[in-house]
Every structure is written in structure tokens, then in C-alpha cells.
């Protein structure tokens, strides 16, 4: 999920995901796949803004206990279908993160939080992130990749609203309380129909003390 469009984010994303194929592809995000080794096997993992479930289902295939959350009921339905097709168990939930993080379903401890291109409105992003920090287990991991403001010039995917894009300072503020390893990278991304080409991203590995 990324912003508050007219008519509401849920309606916007339901329309985006109402396609016979997976809009962002079926394979896991490259950054996640490269760094999953940092998670102990069987970790309890929360994937936020996980859309059609490509990342959460892949993590379940790797032996993790996965909960995925997205605001789009259409996307969550596709995530459940993908999990069933792949023969894995994933708890795929419909939820607006602003309120969901305060519900019983969100209660930790989470061994890892995965945030892949989950671009949230600037006025709620920090509150959601800090709530999640509080729900993480000691030594819990954060794996995050998001577009930076420089992505606006590249136009190969992601939101068009600068305030929802992430840079080093925004990540440090949002995820205060974690030890963070932050890298700004230009890389080629090929994820379904929506992410195609040279992209400017921030990649973050975090750990709760």
C-alpha cells in the first residue's frame, strides 16, 4: 500500500490487484531472497503491505511461520490462493496498518518484520513503524526495501508522491530503536508488470537490541 488516493486506499488497491495475473509477479523480492539467510529457521515473520503474497508465501516455503497483512481484500484473496497452490500455510489478513498494529492479531513477539515497497502516508508511517518495533522480539530483524525520492526521475515503478518515498533520514526516524544498516542503491528491478527497470531504492537491515 502506498498513499491515500481519492475514494480510499482499499478501493484503489482492490482495483489495482483486480487482474488475472499477479501485478508484482510471483517471485520473491531480490533483496529479501538475498537476506532471508539472516532469519533462523521457523521464525515468526510479519510481512506488511504484502499484496498478493509473493514474499510471504516464499518465506513460508522456506520454513517460516508467516503472517501477511494488506489493505486490499482482493490482494489477500490472491495471497491465500497462492499459498494453497504452493502447499504452504500462511496467515493472510486484510487490515489497515494504522489500526491493525494495535489489534490482538498484531501482537508479537515477531522474530522479523518484512517491508517490501510498502510506502505509507508520511503522517502515519512513523507511528506504525514504532508500534512494530515494540512488537518485535529481542534480536528481531527488519528487512526493508523501498523507493527513494530519486525514483521520481526514473519512473520505473512506485508512488508519485515524494512524501511516501524513503531516504536514510526517514528510515532512521521511523525505525528508531533498531540498529540499522542502510544502503542507497540503484539496481534493475523486474517484478511483474509494475516494477520494471533501473530503480533507486533504500535497502535496510535492522535488528532490535
Kindly report, residue by residue over 146-202, the tens digit of the pLDDT.
999 999 999 999 999 999 999 999 999 999 999 999 999 999 999 988 899 999 999
Task: Report CA 14 to chain centroid distance, whole Å.
Answer: 17
* 1: confidence class by pLDDT, cuts 50, 70, 90: very low
Give the pLDDT confidence score for residue 7 in this predicted structure.
Answer: 58
pLDDT on residue 2 = 42
Q: Domain boundaries in the chain?
A: 9-207
Separation CA 144–CA 126 (nearest Å): 14
Task: Say if CB 41 and CB 63 are below 8 A apart.
Answer: yes
Q: Mean per-residue pLDDT for 67-83?
A: 97
**pLDDT tens digit sequence for 43-58:** 999 999 999 999 999 9
CA dist., res. 60 & res. 168, Å (int): 30
pLDDT digits (tens, 9 = 90+) for 9-45: 899 899 989 998 999 999 999 999 999 999 999 999 9
Q: Mean pLDDT of all residues in the chain?
A: 95
Say what the pLDDT of residue 5 is: 53
Q: Domain spanning 9-207 has what CATH number?
A: 3.40.50.150
Q: Looking at residues 134-142, what average pLDDT do you find?
A: 98
pTM of the model: 0.95
CB 60 within 8 A of CB 66: yes
> What pLDDT is stored for residue 8 in this prediction?
81
pLDDT for res 138: 98
Q: Given this model, what pLDDT does residue 4 score? A: 55
Does pLDDT of 3 surpass 60? no
Handedness of CA 136, 141, 145, 146 (dihedral sign): positive
Amino acid at each position: 500500500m502506498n498513499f491515500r488516493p481519492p475514494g480510499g486506499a482499499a478501493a484503489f488497491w482492490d482495483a489495482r490487484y483486480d487482474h488475472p495475473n499477479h501485478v508484482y509477479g510471483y517471485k520473491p523480492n531480490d533483496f529479501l531472497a538475498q537476506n532471508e539467510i539472516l532469519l533462523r529457521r521457523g521464525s515468526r515473520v510479519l510481512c506488511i503491505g504484502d499484496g498478493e503474497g509473493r514474499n510471504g508465501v516464499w518465506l513460508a516455503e522456506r520454513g517460516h511461520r508467516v503472517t501477511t497483512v494488506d489493505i486490499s481484500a482482493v490482494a489477500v484473496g490472491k495471497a491465500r490462493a497462492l499459498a494453497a497452490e504452493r502447499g504452504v500455510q500462511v496467515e493472510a489478513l486484510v487490515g489497515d496498518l494504522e489500526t491493525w498494529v494495535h489489534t490482538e492479531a498484531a501482537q508479537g513477539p515477531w522474530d522479523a518484520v518484512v517491508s517490501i515497497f510498502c510506502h505509507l502516508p508520511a503522517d502515519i508511517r512513523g507511528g506504525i513503524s514504532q508500534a512494530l518495533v515494540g512488537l518485535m522480539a529481542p534480536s528481531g530483524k527488519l528487512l526493508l526495501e523501498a523507493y527513494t525520492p530519486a525514483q521520481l526521475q526514473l519512473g520505473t515503478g512506485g508512488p508519485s508522491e515524494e512524501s511516501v518515498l524513503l531516504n536514510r533520514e526517514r528510515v532512521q526516524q521511523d525505525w528508531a530503536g533498531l540498529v540499522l544498516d542502510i544502503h542507497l542503491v540503484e539496481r534493475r528491478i523486474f517484478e511483474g508488470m509494475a516494477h520494471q527497470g533501473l530503480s533507486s531504492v533504500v535497502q535496510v537491515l535492522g535488528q532490535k537490541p
